[in-house]
Amino acid sequence: MTAISITSVIVLMLILARWAARFWLAQLNQRNVLAHGDAIPEAFRGMIDEATYAKSVQYTLAQSRFGQVEMAYDSAVLAVVLFSGVLPWGFRVFTGWLGGSAWAMAGFLILAGVAISLPGFPFEWYDQFRLEERFGFNTTTQRLWWMDRVKGLALAIVLGAPLLALIIKLVEWTGNAWWVWAWGCLMAFQLVMMLLAPVLIMPLFNKFTPLPEGSLRERLLALGRRTGFLARGIQVMDGSKRSRHSNAFFTGFGRFRKIVLFDTLIQQLTEPELEAVLAHEIGHYKKKHIPKMLLWSAVSSLVGLYLVSVLARQAWFYRSFGFEPGSIAPALLLFGLLAGLVTFWFSPLVHLWSRRYEYQADAFAAQTMNEPQSLIGALRKLNEKNLSNLTPHPFYSGFYYSHPTLLERERALLGASH
């Protein structure tokens, strides 16, 4: 077999292996949920009523079964995109029309990304306006849903095209060392976005208003002072215009840091519970989880760009997918499509690291509050309101859950308090 045919076989096997693993994990999780589905498990009695628990089981199963169809569809689309010849055909047409300049190549990459995402739109729409609607979560409108996608596309063009064009020019300017320079530009871009996103980008999608004067605001500001977490302000985001799911986070860094609470979260939790949730988020900051995760992202990006630089020098890599060697653009596109086939298998390790940070942030919140019950109460309500899966299979949660399950977090919190 030639290197080209071997590459094709390996990629097809990776597509099939990932689909089979995801299908098996979904089946495993569904069986585990159904095994506990007839009655509330002993560990959760008293924290959730029968009707809500039954609804959470139905929601989990509906999402899982829908996800299985979507996984099969996505795998088939990826195989068709990679091996039907549509990508090299589109590349030839595009370059024949606009040439091979850096800006033209950036335009090709963005157009290819949009075209590849289009087959998934019906599934996104169905998930939002059928599944989420059926279980009472959807609050968005058709107009808002489509406007979000139009804005996302506009941002991809305005922000993504110059960055991609710069990376492609760096290949011309710096030769084989382009990937190091591209990595530096990418890191600088990410840091600038961390500053600009809260001010310029996020307000394009949501409305942010200062948390009104009152006991909650004073309580949260006092928490910030007590923990040495100073922010420019506390803002409320109108998350309810899209969904009844809720969250809290902080954005920006340095003196530009802002605390953001979903309006749905304020509606669902008591003031001590909201304070505990914010203490958890501050815990991530105090434990330096954010810089560590940014460092991991930086290292991953550096490795990824290096691999692209190596593959871009291999004629067999291009020809395996119907391209002729030469431009860096097809190598960037193909790497973006193929990377997930490999990184999927490392998900449990990444999530293990992430869950460790969640335990640490929980412990910090309990210590800051001098008791774990406020955070436990918040976690219980959030799991109940979001109809979270309370009984996931350990293998499934290992691959898909960046946070520990409710029961795991409660046990850790109560164990630490004794």
Q: So which residues are the catalytic ones?
A: 281, 362
Q: What is the DSSP letter of 260?
A: E
What does each C-alpha distance from 410 to 134, 281, 366 come to in angstroms?
A: 30, 17, 11
Structure tokens at 181: 């320079």
258 and 232 in contact (C-beta within 8 Å)? Answer: yes
β-strand 258-262 against 248-251: which pairing, if any?
antiparallel
Q: What does the angle CA 171 – CA 118 – CA 75 come to, to the nearest 5 degrees?
A: 85
In a 13 Å sphere around the CA of 46, the CA atoms on its Cβ side amount to 3
251 and 258 in contact (C-beta within 8 Å)? Answer: yes
Q: Residues near 412 by Cβ (< 8 Å), separated by ≥ 6?
A: 359, 362, 363, 404
132 and 243 in contact (C-beta within 8 Å)? Answer: yes
H or E segment to which residue 290 belongs: helix 289-311
67: left (phi over 0), alpha (psi -120 to 50) or beta: alpha
Collapse the DSSP code of 177 into the 3-class scheme (helix H, G, I; strand E, B; otherwise coil) and give the result: helix
Q: What is the DSSP letter of 56?
A: H
Residue 85 is which amino acid? G
Place of tokens 């298998």: 345
